[in-house]
Amino acid sequence: MRDAAVLIHALTGLAWPMFAVWVVWKLLPDVRDILRKRAFSLKVGNNELTVQEFTDQIVQTTAELQQHITAQTDRPRPGQEPEPRSQRVLRRILWVDDTPANNAYQAGQLQAMGVEVVQARSTDEGLRALRRATQPFDAVISDMGRAEAGGFAPDAGLTLIRKIREAGDKTPVFVYGGSNAAARREQVAAAGGDGTTQSPTELFALLGQVGRFPKSAT
């Protein structure tokens, strides 16, 4: 029974990349058609949608799937006591990354779940957003290395975490992205961070441990 539970847990982690491959395979003809015709609308079944409407529906659908995967991942394995469910709701997230376009899809998913995503491009900009926030942020997401005022800073994520903690701010901070995310996990924890990952599914699971997404908080 335990082996089966471990297998299910492993397969859950594969669900996101498998679904992404399916989406690309399924939508590739439509994408090619849009590029070939330079069209701003396309036929889906008997309906004609704008590219924006089509994209919004994809984001909404995958956001619902991501939410389902997160809920499945958070379930305790057989023999484990369930952890108390947080009553906190994730309403606002600060995302610090010098290239926001790299995370546009994940940010869109969060927005589809009812989360307000505020983006900052540098450590200083992120710290200003935290200080000036009229409503508190429920979590912070940061990349590890990024372009800062003095050039490229490979440890910018760690610097941001340390400065947040030095200011007495206990907002959960997660480092997202980078092929060596797992190798930096101990450094992130030592700096006061709450987790690091390069997996979209794991990122949403980490956020789910902080609080519930607004559209699942009923």
Q: Please report the pLDDT score of residue 216 as a whole number.
A: 72
Class of domain 92-216: alpha beta
Segment 195-211, tens digit of pLDDT: 999 888 889 999 999 99
Cα distance between residue 172 and residue 170, in whole Å: 6
In the predicted model, is pLDDT for residue 101 greater than 70?
Answer: yes
Query: With pLDDT > 70 as the criterion, what percentage of the chain qualifies?
Result: 60
Delimit the domains of the chain by residue range. 2-74, 92-216
Q: Cα dist. 145→148, 153, 203 in Å?
A: 9, 6, 17
Quick one: tokens of 92?
């606002």
- pLDDT attached to residue 200: 87
Residue 100 scores a pLDDT above 70: yes
**Angle (nearest 5°) at CA 191 between 74 and 85:** 20
Give me 3's structure tokens: 């082996």
Determine the Cα–Cα distance for residues 89 and 162; give it in Å rounded to an integer: 25
Contacts of 186 (CB under 8 A, 6+ apart): none
